[in-house]
Amino acid sequence: MSAYQRSKTQGVEDMVLLPKITEADIVDNLKKRYMEDQIFTYIGNVLISVNPFKQMSYFTEKEIDMYQGAASYENPPHIYALTDNMFRNMMIDKEGQCVIISGESGAGKTVCAKFIMSYLAAICGGGQDIQKVKDVIIESNPLLEAFGNAKTVRNNNSSRFGKYIEIQFSQAALPEGGRISNFLLEKSRVVSQNPNERNFHIFYQLLAGATDDERGECGLGEPDYYWYLNQSGTYTVDGTNDAKEFADTRHAMDIMNIDQNTQWDILRIASGILHLGNITFVEKGSNASVPADSSFLQYPAYLLGVEEELLCIALTNRVMESRWGGKVEITNVTLNPEQAVSTRDALAKALYSRLFDYLVAAVNNAFGIKEKSEFSIGVLDIYGFEIFETNGFEQFCINFVNEKLQQIFIELTLKAEQDEYVEEGISWKAIDYFNNKCVCDLIESKRPPGVMCVLDDVCATMHAVSDGADMKFVEKLYGVVNNNEHYLSYSQGFIIVHYAGKVEYNVNGFCERNKDVLNNDVIELMQTSSNAFIKSLFPENLAVLKEKRGKPSTAGFKIKTQANDLVATLMLCTPHYIRCIKPNETKRAHDWEDLRAKHQVEYLGLKENIRIRRAGFAYRRPFAKFLQRYAILTRETWPRWPGEPAGGIKHVMDSVSMEPSQWQMGVTKIFIKAPESLFLLEETRERKFDSYARVIQTAWRKYVRRREMAEIREKATDILFKKKLRRRATINRCFVGDYIGFGQNAGLRALVGKRERIEFACCINKYDRKFKVQKRDMLLSAQNLYLIGRERVKKGPQAGEIIEKVMRIIKLSEIVNVDLSTRQDDFFVIRVREAFPSVLESVFKTEFLTVLSEKMAATGNPVNISFSDQITYTAKKDNNKMKAWIGSLMGDERVLQFVNGSEDFPVLTAKGKMLTIAIDNGLPRDTRPGKISERQGSFNKQKPPRSAQSYKYQPPGSQKKSEKMSRSNTSMERPSMHKIGAKQSAKNLNPQSSNKSFMNVPSPNMSIKRKGPPPPPPPQPNYPKVRVLYDYQAQDAEELSLSAGDTVNLLRKEDSGWWVGELKGKKGLFPYNYVEEI
């Protein structure tokens, strides 16, 4: 499907590309994507997220790998792309980052925050300390959600508090600490809920998940037993398992280092709050009250560790102090039933809010807050804009904070951007938008006084009796702000026209909740608790408080201060935005309400955002900062540009051939229009650094290898010391590790695990049950040994092509033994538990055994190495369906017999089930690198080096040494020619038969056809042709050197795997798996 066809059915991924910019077109595009389960959409660098109301499949490790380090345009829109961009910007610009997640209640803000934190935890490396920070990042969510989230009519997991999570990073981009700031917990929910809502999750989790002992100790029953839970008639949430989530909450407490005793105290407090709500009061006498049933005092007193009688007194009485001159008069005032209930609820709210503050502090302690951090990423997850049937003081504060967040978005994305274009002299046409600063001023302004200022003034004149205070507030508010166009009055309170719509606020309880003062009598009661943890939650010094003068701070003042401090914190960071949209009120997947979506699109200002984005620039940086980053792109600007920065920037942009329409120079900054243009600069810069890094790495590695080579060779030699004769030409060679260019071969890399590091790679000879040789690439990792071959595809679209294929994987844990001879040959046999062995030959056997020993020793399974000149093993049967080898009786025995020969390269003779390898003595067994034994004898004769893969082979029925075959390892340097070569063996040939003996049909057990001079071709033959696929360097005078792309006349095919061909007038042998037939 083309991009155009996809946009017709799934909508456009970036709404900057919409052909028309209207609210209806924006809604239609979001709807198309939502119905296709595409919940993310871009507006430039702003991410729009639509709540899918179901689990989506694209939040796995696969997506984490896909988005890590990728440009945003390379993959579909995703929250991982925004998070990765934020993380990279932090490291590139050395600046703090933050993401502001906004939207109404139920739009999915909390889930977005969790995905951001899980992605950051996934992409950061580090050791045990770093893992601890990652665990806190992830596990803080279930803990704070249990105590801070609840079901509302709009959202089953609504955040009833706001939090700003700041994750601190080191210069190495490792998380090293963090901090959580919490705002305005909705304490009133502890004592009352609206219909079809629930109290905080923890109460239901406790009742569903507590053990029998815990239930008995805390007096836990069914939810409808408790007044604080049964007012709404709702006890469960669809799709939520409270018992399982209680287990998750307890696990999170463990991660936060909250010990078991403290966890038990926390559960006792939660249980005590539930029992506290069951205490009711009746009137006794004049303006006094007593508990309706004193037995309900027993459990809360027991769980809170206070005297039952003292609890009753604190709830039904209040001590008043009056000061007249220098005298203090103390009066004990009895409370009526209504006032006693208010005191009871105040105690419950105070216990819960202080407990919540303790949990936030515990999370911060687990983070390990750094006083000074290099960089940080902040995630703001705060309650969404709310409109309920009855909106009280909490909704007023929540909506005020959302107004402030909307103001930040306007200031930084709409107003500030346009102002910057004007200041920098960029050609620009102004775009109108609604600035909600006037609404924020209506609420928080001091002069003229706003709603909060008037509320605080009324609360300051309140005394013990709060009757009539709320209506007095309404009257005074009307007189002060009546002329404001965003204020309206109504019978039960007032109306504010917010950016997201009109909200009617019922003022009943406004003043009492704003005062937010806990009576000293209740504080004194809690300080008498026998539970040390509960006492620690009430640390007030009452003597100091009684002497303190001045107006106490109010809840409104606190939230206003917190909101302004939050804004100041966010303004210090580079902001990123996620705008969440709630598609319906049914909480069902694929249910789309056009009017609701259109309303959100309007008040979020998405249309204005698109218009400014289309006309604006995606990236801007000061001249000096830009040139500092991209100066490396040209020789002229690196390391220092001699002229003005603007001239250097122009030189850089010309060097990458960027279109002039894609960038502009302002007065002090450069502006780049499209993200793709910026990615071009970044990719070019990364390539430059990569090339320089490779030069440095190469030089350093050479230095380190030279310095360590003597030690490595000594260690490798210990494996064979005094056990095996050594080959003269290889005793002092360097270890390279990769002899086949594995790092540059994408085909080979695709055959092993994605994160599996290959420690050793070389080309080897592998012998089958008939002693036929086959070329293989051998790869060794810390877990596996791979044998890679090449074969021609017989069917499918790749028919005829030669591909690389894994022929065998041997787990290192399954290797039981490695057998070698005592002579200087390169053969070794790898024996595998309950499977057939592999007979291999490699010139790099010593290096291979060294690496293999290290890797197997690291797993606690050291390799066993045996030495014998007769190696007997059981070969694999001719049965392709056999998957495992069961005992030696199920197969055929084979023998490798090593005997003394006259050459430094092996002469192989296969006869029946035995392969005889004849090879001359090499250096003494006690030879070490850098020194040769001075003993006299045949060990001391110096012979020129030969290719380690050259040998003589004598087929059955013939003992003629002239039938010589050379095998090559193309990764080796070309060896020197032997001075004598095969002349000495040629003297024994029969002149009459030597020229045509190679034409004989080989014996069935012959492994390799000897190489001899090719027969003279018939006059003007029409030979079939083959095309060379890979470069091949001849290792013998009878072989052909090939280059990829050459065309070779195919003279004859041999079963041995070596074909005879003609290239540029020269005839010789070449490996068949390096070519393809034309």
Tokens of 710: 């003597």
188, 225, 841 from 194: Cα distances, Å: 11, 18, 80
Strand partners, 377: 97, 167
The H or E element containing residue 776 is strand 773-781
Q: Which of 178, 209, 378, 384 is catalytic?
A: 384
User: Is 413 a known active-site residue?
Assistant: no
Alpha-carbon span 774 to 764, nearest angstrom: 8
Strands 1058-1063, 1047-1052: parallel, antiparallel or unpaired by DSSP?
Answer: antiparallel
Q: Is 493 helix (H, G, I), strand (E, B) or coil?
A: strand
Q: At a CB cut-off of 8 Å and minimum separation 6, what does 203 contact? A: 223, 226, 228, 229, 270, 273, 274
Q: Which of 7, 45, 158, 271 is catalytic?
A: 158
Alpha-carbon span 840 to 857, nearest angstrom: 22
Alpha-carbon span 193 to 228, nearest angstrom: 8
Looking at residue 606, the DSSP 8-state letter turns out to be: H
How many angstroms from the chain centroid is the CA of residue 158?
A: 26
Strands 865-867, 815-820: parallel, antiparallel or unpaired by DSSP?
Answer: parallel
Tokens of 768: 């089958």
Closest among 60, 152, 58 to 107, alpha carbons compared: 152
Contact 592, 30 (CB under 8 A): no
Strands 574-581, 97-102: parallel, antiparallel or unpaired by DSSP?
Answer: parallel
Contact 158, 152 (CB under 8 A): yes
Tell which phi-psi region holds residue 457, choosing left (phi > 0), alpha (psi between -120 and 50) or beta.
alpha
For residue 646, which amino acid is it?
Answer: A
Q: Which of 7, 51, 105, 927 is catalytic?
A: 105
Q: Which of 110, 140, 373, 970 is catalytic?
A: 110
161, 360, 561 from 397: Cα distances, Å: 11, 21, 12
Alpha-helical runs (H) found in 503-541: 510-515, 520-527, 532-536
Alpha-carbon span 865 to 721, nearest angstrom: 12
For residue 642, say if its preceding peptide bond is cis, omega within 30 degrees of 0.
Answer: no
Q: At a CB cut-off of 8 Å and minimum separation 6, what does 787 contact? A: 764, 766, 776, 777, 778, 806, 807, 808, 809, 810, 838
Q: At a CB cut-off of 8 Å and minimum separation 6, what does 674 contact? A: 618, 662
First to last CA, the chain: 36
Closest among 563, 561, 449, 468 to 512, alpha carbons compared: 468
User: Is 158 a known active-site residue?
Assistant: yes
User: Is 194 a known active-site residue?
Assistant: no
Q: Which of 13, 104, 245, 386 is catalytic?
A: 386
Looking at residue 890, the DSSP 8-state letter turns out to be: G
Closest among 1, 376, 398, 16 to 188, alpha carbons compared: 398
User: Is 384 a known active-site residue?
Assistant: yes
User: Is 295 a known active-site residue?
Assistant: no
Alpha-carbon span 954 to 354, nearest angstrom: 91
For residue 639, say if its preceding peptide bond is cis, omega within 30 degrees of 0.
Answer: yes
User: Is 159 a known active-site residue?
Assistant: yes
Strand partners, 789: 805
Looking at residue 864, the DSSP 8-state letter turns out to be: P
Closest among 277, 274, 292 to 219, alpha carbons compared: 274
Q: Which of 7, 159, 970, 1056 is catalytic?
A: 159
What is the number of other CB atoms lying within 10 angstroms of the CB of residue 805?
Answer: 12
Q: Which of 11, 96, 106, 450 is catalytic?
A: 106
Q: What count of residues does the chain have?
A: 1078
Closest among 50, 40, 154, 153 to 601, alpha carbons compared: 50
- Strands of 907-911's sheet in order across: 870-875, 892-900, 914-919, 907-911, 950-954, 964-966
User: Is 933 a known active-site residue?
Assistant: no
Residue positions annotated with a catalytic role: 105-106, 110, 155, 158-159, 384, 386
